[in-house]
Amino acid sequence: MTDIEALYIFDAHNNCILEHVYASRPPPARTVLPLYLAHPSPRPSLLHLPNTTPPVLLYSLVQDQLLFLSPHTSDTEPLLVLEFLHRVADALEDFLGSPLLASRIESRYDVVAQLLGEMCDGGLVASTEPNALRDLVSTESWVGKVMGGLGLPGASSFKHPVGPPPSLPPVPWRRANVRHTSNELYVDIVETLLVTLSPSGLPLRATANGTIAFTAKVSGVPDLLLSLTCAGGGKQAVEKTVRLPVFHPCVRLARWRERPGTLSFVPPDGRFVLAGYEVDLLAGRGLGGDVDIPTPNAVGSKGGSSGAAASAAKLNIPAAVEVQTGLGPSGSEFEVSLFLSPRSMSSSASSSSSSLGGASTPSGSGGSGGGRPGLNRGLSSSGSNPLAALSSFSSAGTSQAPTLSDILVRIPLPPSVKSLPEIRPSRGEAMFAAADMAVEWRIASREVTGLMGAGRSGGGRGAAPAATLRCAVVGMVSDDEDEEGEEEDGDAVGGGVAQWTGGRVAETWEYDDPSAMAVSYQNEPALTGQNKKRARKDAVEKERERDERRAKQNAVLMPSGAIVSFQVKGWLASGVRVESLNVDTRASRGLGAGVTPFKGVKYLTVSDEGVESRC
């Protein structure tokens, strides 16, 4: 049984730009594509197509508007095929450049054919490591490209010599004979928050997905030892905090099982993802600070429950929101309150003290969280690459002084909302995106710094919101529905005036402004004091019923929650941090005597629409 039978690549217009068959006789691309497109969107990564002969299992991947399909006529391991598609997309991006375009694949098909042949041989997955593929795949040098572009003869002589492929290096994921003038080791830990808060402030879920990105620019074959720690310290703390770990093939799993938190490995050359993990922030462990959820509901203030929410699990959330709906006389307004918690980062920073085991750090960098030069060099900005989040790093934001920035509050609205005549933010800028049916509220970094400073000076539980946003909505209600609502009150609609007959009371209603209702009583002999009171009571009751009816109509226009996006440099929500990074000189080869690599660590917490507050 083979692992991979075929690989088809389609461009953004569903034109097949590559069709590579490894084994068996799978259906051609022109047969598979219509069956794939016939499935309603969103399409899963694995589809069963029973209408073909024989039936086909179709694996798919979409990257940079290119569609990768792999049909299989027999049963195979799904994760193996999906991982192979991801490896192929990453390899093409590495060799052809980012973003991955159809024109680049068509213009350099010689390189693409070599890649596909080296990555899968006769249907069996072979070498998929980028460093090994660099030694196996022959590419045209830059001199050949220049001469070929000028049309000069002899351009082909500048290509790599064609001959038997070189043997794989002793370490498959590392290129042979690696040489660097500057020896540098960088560790970047990026955590993505996924938090959902109930209307009472009680957390429904709170997880942090971490990625440990490593950049190795060291000559020879270094043998490294990276030690992680977390709040509480010790082997058991890391084992209980870091859940579902995944590792690069270079990591020695036996060492991790023996001592959780210790990664022993020979790194590939360049940047790569060393490990990934998940932390459950509601499990009671892995909390980097003793901080409650920064919402008024969590401290038993107005609008929340003082029981369950006050005793909710303590989380590290620097920013959260609360939404109040149905405000105003007719219930057509809502208010979003933004709460910041500087204690979450200050407490975490004060407890963060680690050593890199002889690391060379810039002066004033603050140890493991110190800034380092050239962090953005060579890092990919691909949306599918976990390393893309590192491109937002800057010299600001260390473990000693974390910085909160890029706050964006997004309030989705129902499709029945027509417009927002009033949008009043106390800080930042807000706008209504009609295409997305959402209000986007942005607060600049300089304003966030001022708000965080105010939060520290006046910090404490039950503090006022750092900023508020109040909006009024208008729905798509037809005139006929309005007329029916007014006629239900027994009023005659005509020029905006309704009069009561019967020889006792004449009443004037101005529907454009309900607060401007005026009641005039005629001086008739039959109008007694009791009738006057009854008329006033009836008028007030009808006005109240009208407001209730309008409030019910506006209730369907209110948002169901708000989502917060932000990033914190120099701080991790889980409390995981690097304790040391050492080079085993006895096991390393080719490093050079007396060479001490430069070492640096960066922390980043990202909430890409990850903190949701429901109402």
pLDDT at 364 over 60: no
Split at pLDDT 50, 70, 90, the class of 509 is: very low
pLDDT at 372 over 50: no
Q: Would you state the pLDDT for residue 526?
A: 52
pTM: 0.69
pLDDT at 609 over 70: yes
Residue 572 DSSP code: -
Contacts 24+ apart (CB under 8 A), 552-557: 552/331, 553/475, 553/477, 554/326, 554/330, 554/331, 554/332, 554/473, 554/475, 555/325, 555/326, 555/331, 556/414, 556/416, 556/475, 557/332, 557/413, 557/414, 557/416, 557/417, 557/473, 557/474, 557/475
What would the pLDDT profile of 340-362 be if each residue is shown by its tens digit? 876 555 544 444 444 465 444 43
Which three-class secondary structure string do you get for 323-359?
Answer: EEEEECCCCCEEEEEEEECHHHHHHHHHCCCCCCCCC
Domain extents for the chain?
Answer: 6-137, 185-473+560-609, 481-555
pLDDT at 603 over 90: yes
pLDDT at 295 over 50: no
Domain 185-473+560-609 has CATH 2.60.40.1170: yes
pLDDT at 211 over 90: yes
What would the pLDDT profile of 441-496 be if each residue is shown by its tens digit? 999 888 887 777 665 433 444 557 788 999 988 887 544 445 444 444 444 333 43
Higher pLDDT, 551 or 37: 37
Q: 6-137: which CATH number, 3.10.20.30, 3.30.450.60, 3.30.465.10, 3.90.1150.10?
A: 3.30.450.60
